[in-house]
Amino acid sequence: MTSSSFSINNTSVQAFSLKNPLPYEDYVRFQEKSRENRRESILFLEHPLTITGGINYNIDNLLRNEDFLSEHGISLQYIKRGGDYTAHEPGQIVTYVHLDLKKREISISQFLDEVLESAIYSTKKVWGLDLVKNPNAPGLYLSDSPNRKILSMGVLFKSWFTSYGIALNVSNDFSAFQCIHPCGQDWKSMISVSQLGLPSGEVQKKEWVLAFQSKFLENLRPIRDQIRA
């Protein structure tokens, strides 16, 4: 694991990039501890094959039973973030932001906008791709093919502290996505950077991570208590 500390607007948020895929249940424990201690951070990582169901999941969108998933090495997790079923696979860039919205006086809508705008900026910078939002379906889509989804989003806001986040499809093979209707959609609507014929190696992933954390923290509202100090 590598880490870097950014001092922006009189505050400090530490960013971590994990080299090895992190089991999903390990992340769940991490975000719970982070909220308990109000400890802010940004994590960039990958997960092993995992399907997660949010608090609004529709069981009809799970296309395979648990025995099938287990046989194929796919973990099934039910969690407290918003949304329906989605999948995590090696080859994604998963970005988890842990932020104290109360201390920073940031609204939920402002936070979501900043996360998505940072992802839009970073994807444009690294791959030249233009991405757009869909007000009726969270995530980011190709601007020239707005039915093709490249980034999924699911965030938990509890005690005004954020966890979970976004997942960008870079070089994943969609083997787990084929077992669900992601967010109620056909999994074939999902697309990745590699499927677009663009370079999707570690160099590009690192460039995206650096661009995202720089853009997000650049616009981050400082903690009021530290301003008064």
Give the active site residues. 183
- Could you give the C-alpha distances from 25 to 7, 31, 48, 155, 161, in angstroms and in order? 30, 10, 11, 16, 19
Give the helix, strand, coil percentages of the chain, each rounded to 5: 35, 30, 35
**Residue in the structure block whose two tokens are 């529709």:** 58
- Beta strands across the sheet bearing 145-158: 2-8, 11-17, 41-45, 92-98, 161-169, 145-158, 140-142, 131-133
